[in-house]
Structure 1
């Protein structure tokens, strides 16, 4: 048997660089597509709805907008492809490993399609734009799945011990939050380029620059890490959907997923609404979004060592429940906030706590369950466990996109200019999204009490026959 190289923290940090890349791309799309493709401009946010005239804005089914339906369809398509790609990756026997070949192949197409989303749907034909937006978004989510699902599977495989699982979860949480934070710099980068490329052109150029940086970050671990040197992986024999069914048959995994899907519904509502909360409710210029996000990120990162230590001492479950309830406080503050940048900083500081906790620990919980199952069954289906998790929470994200765009559908230039709605009513619709997030996040916290972390770690220890888990 080939002697495997030891997994080190240096290797885990190199692996985490890839998370920065894909989180930057997902942040560009997740944080700014709704902002640029819907809503109305104002003195403080002149770029809101900049591309809105190119696609259908009015509700097409009850109060559901085309944009909301397209985003939801993208997430559903993404969720459906997750188990297919996970099964493909789990069963793969490529020379370079089961995961790394996917990352190498998809990094460049993933970055290119992100640029296309802000460039292609801009013809004079609205129907053509609508179609292009739909197709491009489906392809974006497909490429993201083909990179991220194999990538996430490596979390469990590189996390060969409990300490490594918590460490790698901490590192990728850091690079994820940095990528998301950098994505909030988009208006600032565009502003610096506006003199050369114009209002719309500067945004597209900013997207292109950020996507190129993200691409390099994704390629770095894909070519540096030689998967076969560190992981003795054997292809799974179970077909994708049978593997998915087997994964959801795990009672502890289901308990985790119940709360996770609700949490991501609430978080997606909040993250999608954040630029609107800051510009519409707090009346902060959109160029301030990065400052607020950077504040939140800096405080959150400072808390990472504490979360890492506490997770090993008191367990992940208690901390995750604390994170849920703290996010409830954040959503409550947002729903009652007034005008002024001070509200933005209050939200940023408060949100830093649950961001640190829930950015690190949930994926470590999935890695624990995957490791326990591997030891029990002798079959490594790490890819499917992470895909099953993303399958579930993306369904929550899809529903959140529909709910958000439906609740905020009244915020159009025609409605405001014709007097059909008032500015006060527009603000109230955004407050409503925060209230919905508050209620659902509370439910998710209550459900997580049923997850039995001690039993899972006890089984791992027993099956390994040592104190090292």
Structure 2
């Protein structure tokens, strides 16, 4: 083990967190705007904003879901390759360097359907979406593994997790500004399609620049322990899931991502069809939610050190369930539509801050504790396995979202109010299940192992 490893200075921590901003912004459109672009009804009159490119919401749901399944499968595979890599450039940076450019480019090409043929557009979307998630995994999974290796103590990992949570939220807010920026460009004379595509092209370029910052300026040989894993990808994943605490945590995490994907995918539908507000309000609501969540970032870190990460996540699950209950009544309460939206924002901000910060720190602690217990360090596999579960959750949402939103109608018609409201009930059920699973996670045993083995020697 390299005993001369240096502590990452604050400037490098900021550079690392900017990589998160890059991939968060670059992934936003594909992960959250596919339905908006390919299955959109633009306003309260039900008219379409964009042309019909692929003809069926069911086909879109299949593509979105299968691509996320593929994404989840490639996560642990690439994670295993990264854990076993011995490149002098860095076992994480080499994959990040190879993945960043095609990742950013594909984030734009997916929204440039080539022809008026629904069949060709469907093939285009299918192939490019799968490639997008492959290269996204090549960047994101090694990036997360660096969190465990650049942070040498639980407090350092919590700090890095807090910083990348902030930049993820900034990227998410930037992506949500698509609605507003599209409106600005439409008023400048562009047609809706070109306005939307121009915004996505701009975000693609910005994300590319930001993603390369940690690749260029963070030297793993200086700031990371020189340690690898000898397990194959499959065996590494199996042994990771045999870790009881990791299993229960990731199962609960899966249900959170189910609910989160509902809000990310459905925000424009909730705003337009439940509240009857213009599409630009989706940007306002999501931006307000994440800006307000920033108020809690420092208190969350302080509280986590005082009362524990587990207790805070229990609070987060409870408040997020309440937020979805409020959202389920949008359009039905005796207050203005705008007030309904912002009341929900007030309740959702704190759980978003907690979920944004703590899960990555918990996974980093679990991975480090396992490495100290076994002497076999495989942080990328732990993060890859975790993202596999989260993406399975997202893929389930993407598969069932168009089915649920078209309740009371047909798959070839616009989503119905009944269907859109039903998605809020589904999200609440998933979150209740997630809370019950999370209660089985034993935080004390992980922290005890880290405390009892401070030098990283394998535990007896």
Conserved? CA contact 2:43–2:279, under 8 Å: no
Q: Is the 8 A contact 1:40 1:412 kept in 2?
A: no
Matching residue within 206, 216, 219 for 1:223: 216
- Mapping of 1:369-380 within 5 angstroms? 369-380=366-377
Q: How does the TM-score come out when normalised to structure 1?
A: 0.92
What secondary structure sits across from 1:7 in the alignment?
coil
Q: Structure 1 residues 414 and 401, CA, compared in 2 at 3 Å: closer, same or farther?
A: closer
Give the conservation status (yes or no) of the 8 Å contact 1:295–1:349.
Answer: no
Q: State how far apart, in whole Å, the 1-side matches of 2:446 and 2:339 are.
A: 43
* Alignment of structure 1 residues 151-162 onto 2, 5 Å: 151-162=143-154
- The whole-number CA distance in structure 2 between the counterparts of 1:246 and 1:7 is 30
Change (3 A) 1:91 1:41: same
SS in 2 for 1:464: coil
Q: Which residue of 2 aligns with 1:402?
A: 399
SS of the equivalent of 1:450 reads: coil
**TM-score of the two chains, using structure 2 as the length reference:** 0.94
CA shift digits 1:285-321 (9 cap, x unpaired): 1112222222111110010000000000100001001
Q: Cα distance 1:98–1:413, how it changes in 2: closer, same or farther (>3 A)?
A: closer
CA contact (8 A) 1:262 1:396 kept: yes
- Alignment partner of 1:451 is 2:441: yes
SS in 2 for 1:96: coil
- Which consecutive unaligned segments of at least 5 residues does structure 1 have? 59-64, 417-424
Counterpart mapping for 1:43-442 below 5 A: 43=44, 48=49, 50-51=50-51, 53-57=52-56, 65-119=58-112, 121-194=113-186, 195-338=188-331, 340-409=337-406, 415=413, 426-442=416-432
Q: Give RMSD over aligned pairs.
A: 1.9
Aligned-partner Cα distance in 2 for 1:413–1:310: 47
Superposed CA deviations along residues 260-308 of structure 1, whole A, max 9, x for unmatched, are: 1112112212221112111111112111222222211111001000000
Moved more, 221-230 or 192-201: 192-201
SS at match of 1:276: helix
* 1:83–1:391 contact (8 Å) kept in structure 2: yes
Structure 1 residues 298 and 415, CA, compared in 2 at 3 Å: closer, same or farther?
Answer: closer
Call closer, same or farther: CA 1:47–1:169 in 2, change over 3 Å.
Answer: farther
Distance 1:165 1:46, change over 3 A: farther
Contact kept in structure 1, 2:405 and 2:418, CA below 8 Å: no
Partner of 2:5: 4
Corresponding residue SS for 2:453: helix
Determine helix, strand or coil for the equivalent of 1:54: coil
Q: How many residues align?
A: 449
